[in-house]
Amino acid sequence: MASGVKPRVKVPKKAAAGEAITIKTLISHKMESGQRKDSDGNKIPRSIINRFTCDFNGKNVIDVTLEPAISTNPYIQFDATVPEEGEFKFTWYDDDGDVYDDSKKIAIG
């Protein structure tokens, strides 16, 4: 498991039914492309968050494949329409097989 990995998510607490909201996500991760070498000339193994998904009440909202050129601490912002009260589930997938997740509820009001 990569050390110091911390997902953060910002979702409004309330929205009107059918309203489009902006969701912001950030995950602290060093992200190593696999192209660099260490001080001894050995290639540093690739270690990136390679996939991000967001589901709302079990239905997929976004599914993103991330490539080695992604920056350290990847930030993803997107809009989603909220049809009803529910919960967003956010999942980040690491090259080493680790999975990091977070969830946020949203009310209709």
pLDDT, tens digit, 9 for 90 and up, residues 72-95 = 999 999 999 999 999 999 999 999
Q: Is 24 domain-assigned? A: yes
Query: Which pTM was predicted?
Result: 0.88
CA distance 33 to 15: 38
Q: How confident is the model at residue 56 (pLDDT cuts 50, 70, 90)?
A: very high
Identify the domain containing residue 59 by its residue range. 6-108
Q: Is 51 domain-assigned? A: yes
Q: Enter the tokens of residue 14.
A: 């309330």
Q: Is 1 domain-assigned? A: no
pLDDT, tens digit, 9 for 90 and up, residues 10-50 = 999 999 999 999 999 999 998 888 888 999 999 988 888 99
Number of domains in the chain: 1
Burial classification of residue 42, based on how many CB atoms lie within 10 Å of its CB (0-12 exposed, 13-18 middle, 19 or more buried): exposed
